[in-house]
Structure 1
């Protein structure tokens, strides 16, 4: 069956295993149902997620001009500690920034390839953990805005990693750890402004991904270099499709690419 549309990050539903959906304008694919089937992926054109024009994608699904103009790509997205909406200060669009920044945020620990600290909006739990391919995660603090979450993450980065080794995550070269112990060990390093928001009564969340076969050594598919690819789908983890020949495709990393997908 042939599907066509612009790539956005896959939507997910928590389950055992997690369910993955690629949503297009007029259709969607449940990739769990495509496991063990042959997929052909073909790049057709670009479609910026902001302006919709056929312009080369620069970052995060946006063409270069939109990346530097849209509030959805402000520096505070990647660096929450730069958030200023709580001070009533605008970066690019104060109304948008207030809507996103001035809501409950979670600082968490996740184990994808190693234990790491991260930040997400409370409404994005556990979606954020799924997107990172974490097989276990736990909340540390719940704060009322993005700025407090950002300064907490910065403080904790001196004591725990803040990046995921995506190759280890995809080969499943991970170990279970006690995240409750990690959370308690990091408590004293939480900034004074966020200490009152510390969570000390929760347990780990465990996540199961739909993977039939992990790659031994990953080979990343780049649509700019390889505009057409065909392979048997063997798993989905994080925002990656995993194929039988060890090829992996980062769907989120290819947002803004308009593609055709044929499933047999």
Structure 2
């Protein structure tokens, strides 16, 4: 048995084969080895803030207590809407944090999770970002100078392509293989004027096109069988989650009794038996 506070699973993809591990307390386990076996995740009814450690009745922004949610830059609205970054206005909650995480190179990418989508992530978060979203394909489009710029570029693309994953469709494994290189060329052609305007405003090197040096990455997830109907399991209502682990995709466990988003319960005290 493993016991401790939940956090998202670590994921890697050697040769495109996705491998998951889960850490609870001082122990970690290779989750791929539990595929096809019965597992039980017991939630103990307590939550610890992932930043300050205090006990909280409710988790905000996937793992924070309310005071931390209100004060931390990592919980500001610009995290979900990076084009609204206000560091340059001098109003950032934590300028030093922003200098470390926001004022560094970011990528704008295309991914195929429940279908074609656009997204952004820090320069050191690929392919982790794709794996967390359950993408079967991913391709970086641009390298940009900071988080705000990634949001401005993503906003252009959102007029032509989705920026959200339909998690239910993703868990059904129904995404059809796409030619992301062709999609990249098509979208850049459509949005050339907007991209050119951003470069004229912020400088030529603010957006670097990766078309000539990039490749499409493909991923295979450890899934024995995808559900035809997706039933979400809620640990708040059913603290004892158990069933045969049929697979893992994104941050979801696919059980024969339903699916559960492990990342959603970051900071929750839980124990795992198998």
Scaled by the length of structure 1, the TM-score of the pair is 0.94
> Does the 8 A contact of 2:24 with 2:271 survive in 1?
no
Question: Superposed, which structure 2 residues align to 1:183-194 within 5 Å?
Answer: 183-188=184-189, 189=191, 190-192=194-196, 193-194=198-199
Paired residue total: 260
Q: Which stretch of structure 1 is more off in the superposition, 22-31 or 247-256?
A: 22-31
Offset of 1:184 from its aligned partner?
A: 0.8
Q: Which stretch of structure 1 is more off in the superposition, 195-204 or 139-148?
A: 195-204
Q: Which portions of structure 1, spanning 4 or more consecutive aligned residues, are displaced by more than 4 angstroms? A: none
Q: Does 1:139 align with 2:143?
A: no
- Of the candidates 184, 201, 225, which is equivalent to residue 213 of structure 1? 225
Q: Does 1:122 align with 2:126?
A: no
> Does the 8 A contact of 2:2 with 2:25 survive in 1?
no
- Of the candidates 59, 62, 65, which is equivalent to residue 64 of structure 2? 62
Supply the distance in 1 between the matched residues of 2:219 and 2:85 (Cα, whole angstroms).
30
> Does the 8 A contact of 2:111 with 2:138 survive in 1?
yes
> Does the 8 A contact of 1:187 with 1:198 survive in 2?
no
| Contiguous gaps of at least 5 residues in structure 2 | none
| Contiguous gaps of at least 5 residues in structure 1 | none
Q: Does 1:203 align with 2:207?
A: no
Supply the distance in 1 between the matched residues of 2:90 and 2:13 (Cα, whole angstroms).
37
SS of the residue aligned with 2:55? coil
SS of the residue aligned with 1:191? helix
RMSD: 1.4
Question: Superposed, which structure 2 residues align to 1:1-264 within 5 Å?
Answer: 2-15=1-14, 16-44=16-44, 45-55=46-56, 56-85=58-87, 87=88, 89-188=90-189, 189=191, 190-192=194-196, 193-194=198-199, 196-201=207-212, 202-245=214-257, 247-263=258-274
Supply the distance in 2 between the matched residues of 1:25 and 1:93 (Cα, whole angstroms).
29
Q: Which stretch of structure 1 is more off in the superposition, 8-17 or 113-122?
A: 8-17
Offset of 1:88 from its aligned partner?
A: 6.8
